[in-house]
Amino acid sequence: MTDQNTPLAAVVMAAGLGTRMKSATPKHLHPLLGKRVVDWVLDAARAAGVARLVVVAAPGTEGEFDGLEVAVQREPRGTGDAVASAQSALEGFEGRVLVLDAAAPLLTADHFAELVATHERESAAVTILTFMADGLPYGRIVRAPDGSVAEIVEDRDATPKQREIRELNSSIYVFEAGPLWRALSNLDAHNAQGEHYLTDTVASIVAAGGRAAAWVCPDVQATLGINTRADLAVAAGVLRDRINERHMLAGVTIVDPTTTWIEVEVTLAQDVVVQPFTVLAGRTQVASGAQIGPHVAATDATIGEGASVGPFCYLRPGTVLEAGAKAGTFVEVKNSRIGARTKVPHLSYVGDADVGEDTNIAAANVTANFSHRPGVGKGRTTIGSNVRTGVDNTFVAPVDIGDDAWIYPGTVITEDVPPAALAGFPPRQVNKEGYVDRKRDD
């Protein structure tokens, strides 16, 4: 998305601990619609054409960024020091350096492309992504008479007159690499916070004869950085709306987008209908014509064509509902395959099971997957095709229910059931082999 003739690197500032989150987890590592906060930033940078990606991390957090170049800021000495920590990783790099905030997940590759385009157009040494707002404690953009940027003044260091400036710093920049490293070497901590401000590089670059420019982002909300859990909730709402709109424009019906939460890696085919109060998480996949909700939660589930889920249903990881299957009211399914056109209509738990086609699981059925047999541990239940269970059955794994079998109500099944047999008759299981075939002959 950027000029391919000039290499583009990115330094992602992820060394902050986010004390205002009141959490043991740094702010940029909190989950947000299927990714960590920082992952939204990293993915946007990649989509913008970044060739080199360096994450500046706090000591002890390096392991959170497997597969990436990581620079460690040993002491929290300010934003300028954080970027300087990445210099050795980018030694010899000649091009442009995006400096990104790991806790600003709403900016997209398109925003970064606009920033870089402005930088090119202005022949600038540094360009700042800015926005217009009143009363926020952000750095003020001080413009020179020719419209270029003269300096950025932090809110704590600003005069009353400077605090009236409405153009604010988002803390997102693009630099020419050479001027950036030179300006960082000139930083000092003579300011209200006693830190090395990255913002001071702008005045330093201008003093050295470089040009500083700004691109004013028209979407103020996209510049939101996360500092508190309240900010996290606002960002989640924005991303929810973006994701839902993308699905609706692709042919999915979302009856009430404000109560529907769909994580970023979920895939929905055309003509899926999602009812209110539905949460689809992980890598859930939903095929065409499926009906989901209301009040459904599904994580890492596969829902087949024309399947029906809910209301008040929970599909846990490893669930596969094949075409036309139903998981109904107050049903929970985990790590199980439910065959085509099979129905689990209400009040049942199916876990660690394989259920064939055209089977009906009656109300209050449970698969108990810890075996009653000594030393077996966790087992799996297999229920064949065209099986009819009764109300209030429990299947104690490992058991195998043959095709066409019937299960008597109220029975605990602990032994295999042959095909076409009638099994049950509490208090102990009895199998009447061939019962179903004889019943059909009658």
Tell me the pLDDT tens digit for each residue of 409-441.
999 999 999 999 999 988 878 898 988 888 777
Q: With respect to residue 240, please indicate whether it lies within any of the assigned structural domains.
A: no
- Check if the beta carbon of residue 74 is closer than 8 Å to that of residue 197: no
Amino acid at 202: V
Q: End-to-end CA distance of the chain, in Å?
A: 73
Residues 336 and 195 in one domain: no
Q: Is the pLDDT of residue 2 over 50?
A: no
Q: Does residue 238 sit within a domain?
A: no
Q: Residue range 46-68: average pLDDT?
A: 94
Q: Indicate the average pLDDT of the chain.
A: 94
Co-location of 21 and 61 in the same domain: yes
Q: Give a yes or no: residue 421 inside a domain.
A: yes
- pLDDT over 50 at 114, yes or no: yes
Provide CB contacts within 8 A for 108, sequence distance 6+. Answer: 44, 47, 222
Residue 308 has pLDDT above 80, yes or no: yes
Q: Are residues 201 and 280 in the same domain?
A: no
CATH code of the domain covering residue 357:
2.160.10.10
Q: Identify whether the C-beta of residue 292 lies closer than 8 Å to the C-beta of residue 305.
A: no
Assigned domain for 228 exists:
no
**Does residue 264 share a domain with residue 218?**
no
The helix (run of H) or strand (run of E) holding residue 131 is strand 126-132
Residue 241, domain member (yes or no): no
* Strand-strand pairing, 320-321 and 302-303: parallel
Active site residues: 346
Number of domains in the chain: 2
135 and 195 inside one domain: yes
Q: Is 353 a domain residue?
A: yes
Q: Which domain holds residue 17?
A: 8-223
Q: Where are the beta strands (DSSP E) in 289-389?
A: 291-292, 296-299, 302-303, 308-309, 313-315, 320-321, 326-329, 331-334, 337-338, 343-346, 349-351, 353-355, 366-368, 381-383
**CA pair distance 367, 332, nearest whole angstrom:** 11
Q: Is the pLDDT of residue 3 over 70?
A: no
With cut-offs at 50, 70 and 90, classify the pLDDT of residue 1: very low
For position 202, which CATH number holds? 3.90.550.10
Read off the amino acid at residue 207.
A
Nearest alpha-carbon partner for 315 in 289, 288, 294, 284: 284
Give residue-wise pLDDT tens across range 175-198. Answer: 999 999 999 998 887 777 778 889
Identify whether residues 343 and 295 lie together within a single domain: yes
